Structure 1
Amino acid sequence: MKNVSVLAGMQALSLALAAALYPSLSQASAVPLTGHVYYVATNGLNSNPGTQDAPWLTVQRAANSVVPGDTVYVRGGVYNETVDVPTSGSAAIGPITFSSYPGETATLSGKGLLVPAGTTRGVWNLSDRSYITIQGFDVGYYTASSTTETPIGIYISGAGSNISLLNNRVHDIVNTVESCPNGNAFGIEVYGSRAPASINNLTISGNEVDHLRTGCSESLSLTGNVEHWTISNNVVHDNDNIGIAALGFEKAAPNIGSVIYDQARDGVIAGNTVYNISSQTNGAYHPGDFSSDGIYVEGGTRVTVERNLVHHVDIGIELASETLGKLTSEVIARNNLVYLSNSAGISIGGAGSKNGGTLNATIVNNTLFQNDSQGTGSGEFQIQYHASGTVFENNVIYANSNGLLVNFWPSSAQNPGYGNPGTIDHNLYNAAASLDNANWTWLGTSYTDVGSYRNASQNDAATLVADPQFVNTTTLDLHVSTASLVRGAGLVLPATVVGSVDYDGQPRMSNGRIDIGAYQQP
C-alpha cells in the first residue's frame, strides 16, 4: 500500500485537472434563476409560503409546488425524508433546480425510513422527468435488509432528458443482505426502461459516491435505454462493488424489431477518480474473487473512457459483456492512469465461453502500473473470450514482479475463431525488479521472451521492451524523464482516436509526434 498522503495528493491533483477540463460541469454554485425562488429550512412550516423569511419544512413540500424555471434552496441541516419529483422543467422556460443553499449543505437522510415492500426506491426519485437539476446535497443512510427491496441514493428511471446531478455526496446506501441476483443497493442508478423514448442528455458531474454495500449492483450506473450522457469529475471510493458502470442487455428496456434500445450508449466517462473498490467484503462474492471493476462498460456501445484515475480496485477498467451472443462495442479507453489493482489493469472480452464479448475496443495511450497486486494471474492487459477488432496501441505497461504483461488466456480450442483479437503494437513493456521477469500469455501458452511472444501472436513488432523511466515510482509520479524512450515513439493516430489532450490536459500531439502512455511530454 502506498503512502496515504501521497495518494490523497494525487487524487486532489486529478480533481483539479478534471475541473479545469470540464469547468461547465464542475461548477454548481451559480443557479440560473428564471422563475420563482423558494426556500426550505429545518425551522420552516409546510403551511408557510416558502419564502426566505417563511420557508417550508420539507423538500417534498417544495417538490410538490414548483413549476418549470423555479429554484428551491434548501438550508443546511438534516431532512429525514425521501423525495419524489412530480413535475418536469422545460426547455422553453427552464429547469427545476433543487440546490443546497450557497455555503451550506442540506442532508437528505433515509435513516430509519423503510424501503416499501417489494420495491426499488431512492432517497431522491425522478421517474419520467426532464429538465431537473439536483446539486450540492448530502444523500445517505438508506438501508434495507431484504432480497426484495432495493435502496438507492438518487434514482432516475423511465425516460426523460436534461437531468443534471452536480456536486452531491451519496454515501452509506446499504443492503445488509448482499446476494446475487437479489439483495442489492445503488448509490446513483439511471434506469432507462422505456423505448423508443430514452433517458438522454444526462450529466452526472462532481459527485462523491462512497461507503456503499451494493450486493451484485453498482455504485454509479447507467442501465438500459440511456444515451448522450456525461459522467465526469466524480470521486467514487470505498464501495464493495463496481464503481462506474454503463450497462446493456439487462432487459431493462424493450428492443423494437431489429433496433436495440437496451444498452447505455453514446456517452463519456471522463476525469473521474475511482479507488478502494473491492468485492472482498461483499457477501455476494466468494473470498478471493477480485471481481469489482473501477470502470465497467458491459454491453454498452460508443462510449469513451478517458483521463480517469483508477487505483486500488479489483479490475481497473473492463470492457466486456456477460450475455452470450451480445457485445460491448466501439468503446475507446484512452489517456487513463490505472495502478495497483488487485487483478487486471484493463480487461476485455467475456469472462467465460458462455458470456458475450468485445468488438472494436480501442485502448490507446494509457499507463498501467503494477496491477494484479494479488497475484491472480490476470496481468496488466487481459484478453478473455470473444474479443475481436481490438486496437491496443501506445500504452505503457509496467508489470509488478510477476511480470505478466499481456494475458490472452483462453486457448484456441476454448475460444474458436478468436485467435487474433486485433492489433497490439507501439507499446512499451517493463516489469519490476528486472526485465527478466517479463512474460506474456497468448492463447493459453506462456512466453518468457519477447521474440517468442511476437512470433506466436504476430503482434507487437514495433513495441519497446525497456524501462519507461518514470519520475518516481514511490510517490507514483508516472510522468517520464526527458530521456525516456516513450517520447515520440507512439503511433500517430487521429485526435478522434487518441483525444485532443493527454491525462494532464496538455495537447496530445507535440511537434507532430505522439508519446507512449497517458502523458504527452512538452
Structure 2
Amino acid sequence: MMIHGLGFLSLSASLVLPWALTGLVQGQKITESLVKDIRQSSTVQEMPLPSRKLISAVRTATTYYVSGTGNDRNSGLTTSSAFRTIQRAADLTDPGDTVLIMNGVYTNPPNAGTVVSIQRSGNAKAWIRYKAYPGHSPKIKHNTWSGIGLSNGASYIEINGLEIIGNNANISLAYALTQKWNTSNPRTNGSCISIDGRNRPVHHINILNNKVHNCGAGGISVMEADYVKVDHNTVFNNSWYSVYGNSGISLLMNYNTDNNRGYKMFVTNNKVYNNRMYIPWLESGTISDGNGIIVDVSKLGKNGAYRGRTLIANNISYRNGGSGIHAHESEHVDIVNNTAYANGQTPSLKKGQIYAGYSSDIKIFNNIIYASPGQKANSNMNNTNVTYDYNLYSKGVVIAVMGPHDIIGDPQFVNPSNADFRLKATSPAINRGYYWKDLKTDCVGNPRPDGGRYDIGAYEDR
C-alpha cells in the first residue's frame, strides 16, 4: 500500500476576471443609462453591446514562451522575449493557453515547495498545455517536494515532452538511512510529478511523453484524481530514499467526479524500470512498494469506491523492486497487453510480476509475465472476480492462478538484457492473444492485430 507525504503543504490560487471584461460590462451600464435619458430623440440609436458570454467565447488563447536564457520581466509572448521561469507563465495562464518551454535547466528557488506549481485550470473546450518547444529538451531539476505539482483543483491540464529530474544523485543511501524517520525532508521525499487532489479534487490531466527519473519518492504520483491519462512516459530510478511507500507510477484513491462507469484512468505505453525502495516505509518499518505501476486502494476513495474503469495497457515494466504492475484494494481495472520482466528485485517482495490483491473486477489479459525460475509470476490474495487469461508465463515460475488460455514458454525477446522486448518471429506470444476491442495499437503505435489475432505483450510483431 502506498502512502504519500506532503500533507502539510497548502496551496491556493484564484482566477482573476480579465480587466477588459470588467470594463466592457461597466461600459454597457453607462451606455444604457445615457440612452434612457435621451430616448425621446429620434436621432439616437441604441447599439447593443456584446454580452458577457460572447466576450468570453471570443477570447484569443495566448502562447507563452519560457527559456533558460529568458527573463521574468519580459512579456513572454515571443521566443526573443521569453520568461526565465515556468512558474511566471503558470501564474498567467487562462483556458486555452499554451506554455512552450525551450532549452534550459529549471530549478526550484530556495525553500520553495515545487519548481512549477499549477493551480489554474482550463476547461473542457480549452485545456492549458505545458509543452517542450519543438526540437527542444528542457529539464526541470529539483531538490524539493516536487518538480511539477498540480493541486487546488487544477484541471484540464496537459504536461508534454519534459524531463523531470529529482535529487537522488546528490545524496547517498547512508545519508538517506539517517533520515528514515524524517517526514519533513524534501531532499529524500520529493516526487517528480505530483497530482494532488487531497485539498480539492483534480481531474482531466494528461501526462504525456515525459522523462521522469531520480526522485526519492514517486515518479508520477496521482492522488484523489479523476480522468487522468499517463501515456508514453519513461519513468525510472524513483522511490529510492523516501520514508513513504512510493512507486514509479501510482494511482491512489481515485476520486469520482461523475457516475461514468467507462474508462477514465489510463496508464498506457509507458516504460517503467528500476523504481524501488531502499528505505523502509515509515508506517510498517518494512520495504513495501517500489513497484513499476500500482493502482492503490481505489475501493476507499474520499467519496466512495471508484466507479470508473482503469486501463493499464501496452506498458513495459522491468527490474523494479516490487511488482511490475498490480492492483491493491481496487476494482474495475483492466491490465492488458503489458510486458513485465524480472521485477521483484527487492528480495523481501515476492508477490509476483503482475497480480491483484484484495481486489475485485480485475481482468489480466494478454500479458507477458517473465520471472526467474522458482519466483512467483502472480498471487491471489483475497480476490473476487479476478480473471487471468491469454497470458504467457516464463518457464519454471510459480503460478498461483492460471487462466484456461494462458500458456507457458520462452517469449523470445529480441534482447532483454538490453531492454529490447520486441518479439522474435518464432515467439509463442505471436497470434495467441485475446481480441481486446478497446486497444487498437501496440506500445509504439503499430496497429493491433497484425495478422489473425492479437499478440501477447506490449509489442505487436511486424
**TM-score range normalised by the length of the shorter chain:** 0.5 to 0.7
Structure 1 residue aligned with 2:421: 478
* Structure richer in strand, relative to its length: 1
Instruction: Point out where structure 2 has 5 or more consecutive residues left out of the alignment.
Output: 1-59, 133-137, 241-245
Asked if residue 441 in structure 1 is aligned to residue 403 in structure 2, the reply is: no
Structure 2 residue aligned with 1:123: 115
**What does residue range 42-441 of structure 1 map to in structure 2 within 5 Å?**
57=71, 59=72, 61-62=73-74, 70=77, 83=88, 85-91=90-96, 95-100=97-102, 105-110=103-108, 113-115=110-112, 121-130=113-122, 132-136=128-132, 137-143=138-144, 151-172=145-166, 179=181, 183=185, 184-192=189-197, 199-214=202-217, 218-227=218-227, 229-239=228-238, 240=240, 241-248=246-253, 266-281=264-279, 284=282, 289=287, 291-299=289-297, 326=305, 330-349=309-328, 357-375=329-347, 376-385=349-358, 387-408=359-380, 410=381, 415=382, 418=383, 420-431=384-395, 437-441=396-400
Query: How far did 1:323 drift?
Result: 9.1
Query: How far did 1:193 drift?
Result: 5.4
CA RMSD of aligned residues (A): 4.1
- Secondary structure (helix, strand or coil) at the match of 1:293 reads coil
Structure 2 residue aligned with 1:462: 405
Provide the rounded CA distance (Å) in 1 between the counterparts of 2:66 and 2:319.
46
Query: How far did 1:88 drift?
Result: 3.0
- Residues 1:504 and 1:34: Cα distance change in structure 2 (over 3 Å): closer
- Residues 1:500 and 1:281: Cα distance change in structure 2 (over 3 Å): same
Task: Decide whether the 8 Å contact of 2:266 with 2:310 is kept in 1.
Answer: no
Task: Decide whether the 8 Å contact of 1:370 with 1:398 is kept in 2.
Answer: yes
Which has the higher Rg, Structure 1 or Structure 2? 2
- Residues 1:193 and 1:72: Cα distance change in structure 2 (over 3 Å): farther
Provide the rounded CA distance (Å) in 1 between the counterparts of 2:421 and 2:66.
47
Provide the rounded CA distance (Å) in 2 between the counterparts of 1:81 and 1:114.
17
- Secondary structure (helix, strand or coil) at the match of 2:274 reads strand
Instruction: Point out where structure 1 has 5 or more consecutive residues left out of the alignment.
Output: 1-32, 43-55, 116-120, 144-150, 301-319, 350-356, 432-436, 443-458
Q: TM-score, normalised by structure 2?
A: 0.67
Q: What are the superposed Cα offsets for residues 298-339 of structure 1, whole Å, 9 maximum, x if unpaired?
A: 355xxxxxxxxxxxxxxxxxxx87999846862222222233
Task: Decide whether the 8 Å contact of 2:197 with 2:224 is kept in 1.
Answer: yes
Q: What is the identity, as a one-letter code, of the residue corresponding to 2:164?
A: V
Provide the rounded CA distance (Å) in 2 between the counterparts of 1:402 and 1:340.
17
Q: What are the superposed Cα offsets for residues 169-219 of structure 1, whole Å, 9 maximum, x if unpaired?
A: 322358975657654433222333576xx64443333333332223xxx23
Task: Decide whether the 8 Å contact of 1:246 with 1:296 is kept in 2.
Answer: yes
- Residues 1:141 and 1:267: Cα distance change in structure 2 (over 3 Å): same
Task: Decide whether the 8 Å contact of 1:397 with 1:430 is kept in 2.
Answer: yes
- Secondary structure (helix, strand or coil) at the match of 2:273 reads strand
- Residues 1:344 and 1:90: Cα distance change in structure 2 (over 3 Å): closer
Q: What are the superposed Cα offsets for residues 75-125 of structure 1, whole Å, 9 maximum, x if unpaired?
A: 69xx6996584333244xxx153532xxxx2333335x124xxxxx32222
- Secondary structure (helix, strand or coil) at the match of 2:216 reads coil
Query: How far did 1:282 drift?
Result: 6.9
- Residues 1:332 and 1:180: Cα distance change in structure 2 (over 3 Å): farther
Provide the rounded CA distance (Å) in 2 between the counterparts of 1:246 and 1:37.
31
Provide the rounded CA distance (Å) in 2 between the counterparts of 1:466 and 1:223.
38
Task: Decide whether the 8 Å contact of 2:224 with 2:253 is kept in 1.
Answer: yes
Query: How far did 1:288 drift?
Result: 6.7
- Residues 1:441 and 1:181: Cα distance change in structure 2 (over 3 Å): farther
- Secondary structure (helix, strand or coil) at the match of 1:516 reads coil
Provide the rounded CA distance (Å) in 1 between the counterparts of 2:64 and 2:344.
52
Task: Decide whether the 8 Å contact of 1:428 with 1:464 is kept in 2.
Answer: yes
Query: How far did 1:500 drift?
Result: 0.3
Q: TM-score, normalised by structure 1?
A: 0.60
Q: What are the superposed Cα offsets for residues 393-425 of structure 1, whole Å, 9 maximum, x if unpaired?
A: 2222232022422322x4xxxx4xx4x543222
Q: What are the superposed Cα offsets for residues 27-52 of structure 1, whole Å, 9 maximum, x if unpaired?
A: xxxxxx9668778786xxxxxxxxxx
Provide the rounded CA distance (Å) in 2 between the counterparts of 1:288 and 1:129.
39
- Residues 1:39 and 1:191: Cα distance change in structure 2 (over 3 Å): closer
- Secondary structure (helix, strand or coil) at the match of 2:237 reads strand
Task: Decide whether the 8 Å contact of 2:440 with 2:448 is kept in 1.
Answer: yes
- Residues 1:37 and 1:260: Cα distance change in structure 2 (over 3 Å): closer
- Residues 1:260 and 1:224: Cα distance change in structure 2 (over 3 Å): farther
